[in-house]
Amino acid sequence: MDLGQIFLSEVVGTAMLILLGGGVVANVALTKTKGFNGGFLMVNFGWGLAVFAGVTVSYSSGGALNPAVSLAQLILGNIDFVAFLVYLAAQMIGAIIGAVLIWLVYKNHFDEEPDPAAKLGVFATGPAIRNYGWNLVTEIIATFAFVLVVLGFTNGGTPAELGAIPVAFLVIAIGASLGGPTGYAINPARDLGPRIAHAFLPIKGKGTSDWGYAWVPVAGPLIGGALAAIASGVLLPVA
């Protein structure tokens, strides 16, 4: 496939993922929204459906939308290093675009929200109990589970090959079961891109972007995705 087509497809898909996924967090967390206090399960379902939408509109590129998935594909030899860099750049740009769109949709609610942590939570994940080592372990295990199941269903393929609906249910399952400790980033672009947007957007009273934690939802998913790719050769009938 043409790298330009891959780039555009991944930008659009990742932007859609973040717009709808971060959007449900905004709807639940920000003051005076219709969905205020909707709960963590609503967030789980919202992110699952966001993945459904993102994978659907990026089907032509395989719907990776996640550097951890793309890294697994690189390790398995399904893409080369140049293609991996294209995927990575597109996913980061798409994530930033999606985050900016969320801010535009909820601008008035960001202005009304007094809690900086609630504002940051729309953009980036954070731990329920801050312990960097154990937070990292959580992200590694959750991402390992996500990537391994995708590889198992697709015989080493991409989320789009699995189909948007099964991937959506998989994300809901991981969020409901493993999402409590860290908010289950399971995707470096999903966390880092919006966190960058939070840093540069003129959000009223936004506070810090918590860069001290930012490495965890990047390193954890990359390690988990790599381990899943390596383990798949032993644990799964992956070609």
3-233 has CATH 1.10.287.130 classification: no
The per-residue pLDDT for range 153-193, each reduced to its tens digit, is: 888 777 877 788 999 999 999 999 999 999 999 999 999 99
Q: Report which residue type is found at 99.
A: A
Q: Does residue 151 have a pLDDT over 70?
A: yes
pLDDT on residue 206: 96
Percent pLDDT > 70 in the chain is 98
Q: How far apart are CA 171 and CA 30, in angstroms?
A: 23
pLDDT at 1: 66
- The mean pLDDT of the chain is 95
Q: For position 160, what pLDDT does the model report?
A: 76
What tokens appear for 208 in the block? 């810090």
pLDDT digits (tens, 9 = 90+) for 24-72: 999 999 999 999 999 999 999 999 999 999 999 999 899 999 999 999 9
DSSP state of 36: T
